Homo-oligomer: A and B are copies of this chain.
Amino acid sequence: MGNTNENTELKIIEAARKVFILKGMDGARMQEIADEAGINKALLHYYFRSKTKLFDRVFLELFSEVVAVINAEVEKASTLEQLIESLVSNYIQLISEKPFVPDFVLHELNRNPEMIIEYIQHKGLDLNKVFRLFQDETLNHVTYPISPVHLIVDVLALCVFPFVAKPIIKGFMLEDDELKYKKFIAERVSHVTGFIKSTLFINPQQS
């Protein structure tokens, strides 16, 4: 009996991921996914009974990856400064490789916010450690007292927005020049890190 099935499932998932990310749930077509996977619609439905099931699978995998990266960084870090440095650097790096993922995830989440509730039971963000780091360092006068939630949102915003808003940034501020945009993104890691550290730390260290 053929055991190529794991291969095929993978091919389908990869194709679906590509098409869904590019077109979104509403814009994606099952035929296009089948084509991209190099199979036919019948087989596609043989593996995944419906578009929704396939989408859910793809979305959950992508979203989990994003969350996992953040959680891994948080776990590794032993100081706030270290956390911010490695988070900013690795997160921007990650998104650079899949620049359309953030818009996809955010848009689909806005289209159907209930998806996040399903996910939370699955596995959520691990923020307690961040809160703890904050408390410690604030007490020791390493950081100014600041709302942890706001700071986390700030970090994510500064990292993610430049990718989601690429057309505006490139078109309006960088003469629609792809190279200038690339350069801009390359500068981002050090800019964001510096930006946040200068606000946060009482004696900002240069790294």
- Residues in chain B near residue A164, CB distance under 8 A: 106, 110, 164
- Residues in chain B near residue A176, CB distance under 8 A: 116-117, 120
State how many copies of this chain the complex holds.
2
Instruction: Give the distance in Å from the alpha carbon of A127 to the alpha carbon of B169 in the complex.
Output: 12
Tell me, rounded to whole Å, the shortest Cβ–Cβ distance linking A24 to chain B: 6
- Residues in chain B near residue A169, CB distance under 8 A: 149, 153
Q: CB of A94 within 8 A of chain B?
A: no
Q: Find residues 109-165 in chain A having any chain B CB closer than 8 Å to their own CB.
A: 109-111, 113, 115-117, 120, 124-125, 127, 147, 149-150, 152-154, 156-158, 160-162, 164-165
Tell me, rounded to whole Å, the shortest Cβ–Cβ distance linking A119 to chain B: 8
Q: Which residue of B lies closest to A28 (CB)?
A: B26
Tell me, rounded to whole Å, the shortest Cβ–Cβ distance linking A34 to chain B: 19
Find out whether the CB atom of B107 lies under 8 angstroms from the CB atom of A172: no
Q: Find residues 13-60 in chain A having any chain B CB closer than 8 Å to their own CB.
A: 23-24, 26-27
Q: CB of A174 within 8 A of chain B?
A: yes
Find out whether the CB atom of B153 lies under 8 angstroms from the CB atom of A111: no
Contact of A149 among B23, B26, B173 (CB under 8 A): B173
- Residues in chain B near residue A150, CB distance under 8 A: 184, 187-188, 191, 195
Tell me, rounded to whole Å, the shortest Cβ–Cβ distance linking A57 to chain B: 19
Find out whether the CB atom of A154 lies under 8 angstroms from the CB atom of B165: no
Q: Find residues 63-101 in chain A having any chain B CB closer than 8 Å to their own CB.
A: 100
A selection of 18 A-B contacts at a CB cut-off of 8 Å is A23-B111, A24-B107, A24-B111, A26-B26, A106-B168, A107-B107, A109-B167, A110-B164, A113-B171, A115-B167, A116-B167, A117-B176, A120-B172, A150-B184, A150-B195, A154-B158, A154-B195, A161-B161
Looking at A107, A152, A166, which has the most chain B CB atoms within 10 Å of its CB?
A: A107
Find out whether the CB atom of B152 lies under 8 angstroms from the CB atom of A110: no
